[in-house]
Structure 1
Amino acid sequence: MTNMRAQKPLLQLALVFVLVAPVPAFSEDWAYLDDRSTPQKLVESYYFAISHRYYAQAYGYFQDGAAPADFDSWAKGYSDTGTVTVKFGATAPDPGAGQIFWALPVAISAAKTDGTTQVFTGCYKIHMANPGMQTDPPYQPMGIVSATLKETKKAFDTIAPGPC
């Protein structure tokens, strides 16, 4: 009986530790990025999502009506993509009639799951309705309207994204 009394506080302490010990909500390697503050951050977020196989998130960066028609086929097109690195050329907003557009020059290095790398150059067309003119919900954030990319054999580190 005395031994049991001595063990009871230890058991209670162990139970409290188990109940209050921090448990990670996500795995240690889980990461998330979703930034639409600039056209560059939008495209970085898009490729971050693709690199992490968050295809639904990446697909959500397209403007309404601009996303590829078949999500499954689009996602399968990225199934052999490991990580994507992107760099940008200069861009400036082109406002007009409550709309803002950007033509964003890019160079992209896509590391494939088989160890090879593909390099692309081209342009993203980005759109946002003027936030001051969006008076009714739902709010429409900045999004991708289109992308025109061509594969190149040049090394990624030698490419400077050109004008669109």
Structure 2
Amino acid sequence: MQTAAKSVIAEASFEESVSAWMDGEGSEDFLHQLMSPQGRKTWDSYHLIGDALRSPDLVTNPSKDFQSRLSRALDAELPIVAAPRRRSPLRFGLSGLAVAAAVATVIWVVQPSVSSGPGVSAPVLADASRDDPGLRDYLEAHRQMAGPSAVRQVSFETGAR
């Protein structure tokens, strides 16, 4: 049994090597196998297939006898019965869980903005127009003592520069 499997693998790798050689990707050590009668036959068959695919003039229509034999051979083959595909309940359960997680995330993000109704107002910031004259004098004295700095303070008053 193993020898039959090995010969099928060897045959497949041989045909792949012939195909690679035709594409210009073959190695030099494969050349002696390609010169064998089997290699030459495979080489010629591959070229015939390539020529037939490229030129419809080279393709001949099969005879009615060949078509009837092929039809009988196909009818005689047993159909391949594949096992029916199982539907996994886990797949549908996880998709439902993903939808529920997405809805929960949207609710969690939107909830704070919805819960603040018309009765709740935004916090009021301190009025910047009221200055403490003592603080202003202190900052001015500090500026004179510290000297010029590369970083300047910015006044938020509209009239001051």
Same fold (TM over 0.5): no
Instruction: Report the TM-score when normalising by structure 2.
Output: 0.20
Relative to the length of structure 1, the TM-score reads: 0.19
- Which of the two has greater strand per residue? 1
Q: From the CA coordinates, give the structure whose radius of gyration is larger.
A: 2
The structure with more helix, counted as a fraction of residues: 2
Which structure ranks higher in relative contact order (CA pairs < 8 Å, sequence separation ≥ 6)?
1
